[in-house]
Amino acid sequence: MNKIELIEKLANKAEISKKESEHFLNSFVELVTDTLKAGGEVTVTGFGTFMAKYRSARRGVNPQKPSETIQIPAVTVPKFKAGKSLKDALKAKE
């Protein structure tokens, strides 16, 4: 499902206009992004937690020349940890 499909389904589910649905989704993404940039976490109980994790600098292998090592810089990356309700819902599907 892409963003346009998500906006349409959200509008239908919440019985709101597509414009309101798009505004809601964009606001949610912006709030999560701003919170992670500030070093915080966003927890949606039962769904999961969005967080930022620091990944240290490390040595890696150059994929174009496997015999050569390269230095991979430190970076902060987004992470998502699924909540219990989401995990249970996916397990029940099997």
Q: Is the confidence at residue 94, as pLDDT, over 70?
A: no
The tokens for 34 are: 């701003």
Q: What is the DSSP letter of 46?
A: T
* Chain segment 27-74, per-residue pLDDT in tens: 999 999 999 999 999 999 999 999 999 999 999 999 999 999 999 999
8 close to 18: Cβ distance less than 8 angstroms? yes
* Chain segment 4-21, per-residue pLDDT in tens: 999 999 999 999 999 999
Residue 88: per-residue pLDDT: 92
Report pTM.
Answer: 0.79
From CA 17, how far away is CA 43, in angstroms rounded? Answer: 26
Residue 92: per-residue pLDDT: 74
42 close to 83: Cβ distance less than 8 angstroms? no
Q: Is the confidence at residue 93, as pLDDT, over 70?
A: no
- Mean of pLDDT values over 66-93: 92
